[in-house]
Amino acid sequence: MDYIVPGLTVGKYIWQCGPTTLCCQWSKDSEKIFCGSSNGIGAVLDLQTPQPMPFARHAAPLRCIRVVDDAVVCTAGWDKQMKYWDLRAPNSVLTSETPERAKSMDFATSLLVVGMENKKIGVYDMRKPCEPLKGDQGPLRRPIQCVSVSPSGTSYACGGVDGHVAVEYADRQGYIFRAQEEAQTPVNCMAFHPVFGALATGGADGVCNFWDITQRRRLKRSIQASSSITSLTFNPNDSFGEAKIHKKPRTHGQPIKVTLRAVTNSEATPLPMDI
């Protein structure tokens, strides 16, 4: 059941973050918004004093941003560089090279995962960011479209352009499954539920699926949207009743639409283990 609430939302700011905004993320206290632009500039907007301030710079489009803690932000760009920024300092505190251009990035606990072009993937323990745990070919046979890290930081998933999802673990063998029913339909986006750990995937076919990655089963299939789902995320609030999914279908020639939908118990609660 989807809820579109026209007229009930109140606009606060219109913020032009460079020529084209490629990524954005809230701070952990929900008081700031970070964004990256096609001109390689990263900026932060403090909602208490709505004046955007640049904090990051790349030599090519800035594609990914993730907030590590209250003062540290990680960015990855098409210049094949990943940079760590202390917001209290004017320059990056650490820069590392990536084998390919970044396409997607996620972080949880101490695990940072970067999905790149040519099926490359980078896995980092943020306690030792200079020593990648993995920095070579990813688990999928086709190019990686998106990545997401579980709330516990012990596993991650990556979605491919052919509709497959790979689940990788720190302590055991991972696996690959097909998330999209239509062949060769890309998995555009994915996100783990912040409390229960169910994995939500959104595809170019307009369908959002919920998966129990431990039992390797689908929990729920949403009603098909009228166009492709290009982005989804959960409300970070740990109250289950307030958790939301934000779906943004987008197809050429159609307006961008943002949908807010309450998540039910059956969708996000893992199944009991088989005996």
83 lies in a domain? no
Range of the domain at 257: 139-275
Residue 162 lies in a domain: yes
Question: Mean of the per-residue pLDDT values for the chain?
Answer: 85
Note whether residue 129 is domain-resident.
no
User: Is 176 contained in some domain?
Assistant: yes
pLDDT score of 270: 78
- In the chain, pLDDT over 90 holds for what percent of residues? 52
Number of domains in the chain: 1
CATH of the domain at 200: 2.130.10.10
In a domain, 37, yes or no: no
User: Is pLDDT above 60 for 4?
Assistant: no
Contact 71, 88 (CB under 8 A): yes
Give the alpha-carbon dihedral of 213, 216, 218, 219, to 10 degrees. Answer: -60
pLDDT reported for residue 209:
92
The pLDDT assigned to 240 comes to 40
The reply to whether 1 falls in a domain is no
Instruction: Judge whether 57 lies within some domain.
Output: no
Asked if pLDDT for residue 121 goes beyond 90, the answer is yes
pTM of the model: 0.88
DSSP code string of 49-91 = EEEEEEEEE-SS-EEEEEE-SSSEEEEEETTSEEEEEETTSSS
**According to the model, what pLDDT value does residue 118 have?**
94
| 70 occurs within a structural domain | no
> Burial, 35: exposed, middle or buried (Cβ in 10 Å; 0-12, 13-18, 19+)?
buried
- The pLDDT score that the predictor gives to residue 147 is 97
- Residue 261 scores a pLDDT above 60: yes
pLDDT of 6 > 60? The answer is: no
Each residue of 145-171: pLDDT tens digit? Answer: 999 999 999 999 999 999 999 999 988
How much of the chain exceeds pLDDT 70, in percent?
88
Q: What is the pLDDT of residue 170?
A: 83
